[in-house]
Copies of this chain bind each other. A is one copy, B any other.
């Protein structure tokens, strides 16, 4: 079989990037973001990108890189503003912003990947989110319709992947990555560790390789946004708690 494995992030994006493309990028805050692929997307020079991502990175890191270079025209996100450059461009009217409730965003991406063009949810009923959206009543309660989302390319960060594209995610770095893997016309993945086929127990694969077209192994910096720790003087007894 023709290989899914590429050597570098730049090679993995070769031929996939173009102006006015829609890109999904995994992660929650800076946790589980495809750092190397984002940098390669910046270097591709693609302009007027619509970026679907729960957050918008920080100044100089994550999607912040693409904001700095003004390659992003529109963001579809649930929470932004950890990022001065974002705020500046938005307030200057240089950047479009579509807020989605976080769960609606996650479900829209899952729906896009699952061939579901629309679904009903209670989230946002009676708020600005509902404006202009079709509604339907079920059991006497009002729901609004949300649509599925797809992307030209999905950039995904996983923990381990095999050469067939089977993926495992680590802890809360999973977040939006598995759904985005299903919703890209082409899905490109960077993993901390690339392993041989057969390394995973088939019971515990989070994303089957069918969703992955290209994969690279790459070292991530993994910046921490809010470092919070406990006083090391306190006992570790609690760790035994269930």
Q: Name the one of B107, B119, B198 contacting A242, with C-beta atoms under 8 angstroms.
A: B198
Cβ-based interface call for A60 (8 A): no
Please report which residues of chain A, range 225-242, place their CB below 8 angstroms from some CB of chain B when the two chains form the complex: 242
Decide: B120 and A117 in contact? CB cutoff 8 A: yes
Cβ-based interface call for A183 (8 A): no
Please report which residues of chain A, range 196-228, place their CB below 8 angstroms from some CB of chain B when the two chains form the complex: 197-198, 202-204
Decide: A118 and B116 in contact? CB cutoff 8 A: no
Cβ-based interface call for A126 (8 A): no
Please report which residues of chain A, range 137-171, place their CB below 8 angstroms from some CB of chain B when the two chains form the complex: 138-139, 143, 147, 164, 168-171
Q: Is the interface of A mostly helix, strand, loop or mixed?
A: mixed
Chain B's closest residue to A1 (CB) is B242
Determine the chain B residues whose CB is within 8 A of the CB of A118 once the complex forms.
119-120, 136, 138, 143
Decide: B170 and A203 in contact? CB cutoff 8 A: yes
Task: Report the Cα distance A143→B159, complex, angstroms.
Answer: 37
A169-B203, A197-B242 known; A138 vs B117 contact (CB < 8 Å): yes
Determine the chain B residues whose CB is within 8 A of the CB of A114 once the complex forms.
107
Task: Report the Cα distance A197→B242, complex, angstroms.
Answer: 7
Chain B's closest residue to A159 (CB) is B203
Cβ-based interface call for A8 (8 A): no
Task: Report the Cα distance A200→B118, complex, angstroms.
Answer: 36
Cβ-based interface call for A122 (8 A): yes
Please give the residue numbers on chain A whose beta carbons come within 8 Å of chain B beta carbons, in ascending order: 107, 111, 114-122, 136, 138-139, 143, 147, 164, 168-171, 197-198, 202-204, 242
7 tightest Cβ-Cβ pairs between the two chains A and B: A117-B138, A119-B119, A204-B204, A118-B120, A197-B242, A116-B119, A117-B120
